[in-house]
Amino acid sequence: MDDCGYDLLVVGSANADLVIGVERRPAAGETVLGSDLAVHPGGKGANQAVAAARLGARTALLARVGDDAHGRLLLDAQREAGVDTAGVLVGGAPTGVALITVDPSGDNSIVVSPGANGRLTPEDVRAAEGLFLAARVVSTQLEIPLRTVSAVAASLAPGSRLVLNASPPVRLPAVVLAACDPLIVNEHEARVVTGGALGESPGEWAAALLALGPRSVVITLGAEGALVADGSGTARVPSVPVDAVDTTGAGDAFTAALAWRLGRGESLPAAAGYAARVGAAAVTGQGAQGSFPTAAEVATLPAASLS
Ligand code: RIB
């Protein structure tokens, strides 16, 4: 695959993030007052593409946005980051929107209205065959229809690799699970993907996930780093201590960095170690894409530690 045009093809969602800072995220039936509204480019797919491009990866995005101001905001952000947007389709529904509240610890709650993301079809994927043939690695997530994700798994070029972040989580078809290398989940997502029977330790979660068919898995563990596992065993990946401002998009930056480094031939533990540093940098600023680091910025982060 040395003649690939793209280090990474991202297939996924693009949302306008409507963000309000709050002292405390509201409980059911509760109204709270928050900050002025901020509108940022977001969406798990668009975030992955920007994160990879900012690190230096030759990146393309296959997505759908509406013919509206939010769509133009998203396309501008992709082009500014250096992402090839030839695969971004326009029209069919309004651009997806994410309503996001962020509390002082940097944690968020998100509701997504998929809009145009829900109209990204298997036919759109099949029509983008040229992008798949040119991509060393393909990454995706679950803010687009599951049948479209299945079409992505079926469209991989020989020798290319699928990285799937199962977020927001659902039970996955066997054809998708079998193509994942790796499947990336947190604990909650692991529970949904496995149907609940997980066991006590991250090692048991990894075994339960591998039994479903992916070639490898990555379980993100927040401040405790991550656990990676494949047929050859498991390894812990340390976290990087930083002061969190806004965690939105950190998982997307992690996934993008992991996919890029795997495509460069790194081992799963080494690529996940680098991705943990990128994800840490991504929580240190407001919004999703605005805080994604360059490779030079990743190099200045403090040392990682196993807690
Ligand atoms: O992962 C973060 C992203 O989730 C946000 O940018 C929001 O758009 C939602 O898709």
* Mean pLDDT confidence for 11-15: 98
pLDDT category of residue 307 using cuts at 50, 70 and 90: low
* Mean pLDDT confidence for 5-10: 97
Binding site membership of 99 for ligand 1 (Cβ less than 6 Å): no
* pLDDT more than 90, % of the chain: 88
pLDDT of residue 259: 98
Return d(Cα 38, Cα 20) in angstroms, integer.
7
Q: What kind and span of H or E run contains 9?
A: strand 6-11
Q: How far is CA 96 from CA 85, 244, 289, in A?
A: 17, 26, 16
pLDDT category of residue 280 using cuts at 50, 70 and 90: very high
Per the DSSP assignment, residues forming a β-bridge with 10 are 61, 139
Nearest atom in ligand 1 to 248's CA? 2
Report the half-sphere exposure of 107 (CA within 13 A, side-chain side). Answer: 7
pLDDT digits 0-9 by tens, 42-93: 999 999 999 999 999 999 999 999 999 999 999 999 999 999 999 999 999 9
Which residue's alpha carbon is nearest to atom 9 within ligand 1?
Answer: 43
pLDDT digits 0-9 by tens, 136-160: 999 999 999 999 999 999 999 999 9
Nearest atom in ligand 1 to 13's CA? 10
Q: What long-range pairs does 106-109 form, CB within 8 A, spacing at least 24?
A: 106/244, 106/245, 106/246, 106/247, 106/283, 107/25, 107/244, 107/247, 108/25, 108/246, 108/247, 108/248, 109/25
- Strands in 212-263 per DSSP E: 216-220, 226-230, 233-237
pLDDT of residue 244: 87
pLDDT of residue 200: 87
The residues annotated with a catalytic role in the active site are 252
pLDDT digits 0-9 by tens, 190-246: 999 999 878 889 999 999 999 999 999 999 998 889 999 999 999 999 988 888 888
Binding site membership of 15 for ligand 1 (Cβ less than 6 Å): yes
Tokens 């031939």 — which residue?
A: 265
Nearest atom in ligand 1 to 46's CA? 6
Query: Which of 97, 110, 188 to mutate for ligand 1's pocket (most ligand atoms within 8 Å of CB)?
Result: 110
Contact 131, 62 (CB under 8 A): yes
Among 94, 93, 91, 97, smallest CA distance to 113 is for 97
Which residue's alpha carbon is nearest to atom 7 within ligand 1?
Answer: 43
Question: Does 305 have pLDDT greater than 80?
Answer: no
pLDDT of residue 1: 47
Q: List strands edge to edge, sheet with 233-237.
A: 88-90, 59-65, 6-11, 135-140, 161-165, 180-185, 216-220, 226-230, 233-237
More confident: 4 or 234: 234
Binding site membership of 40 for ligand 1 (Cβ less than 6 Å): no
Return d(Cα 136, Cα 127) in angstroms, integer.
18
Question: Does 3 have pLDDT greater than 60?
Answer: no
**What rounded mean pLDDT belongs to the chain?**
95
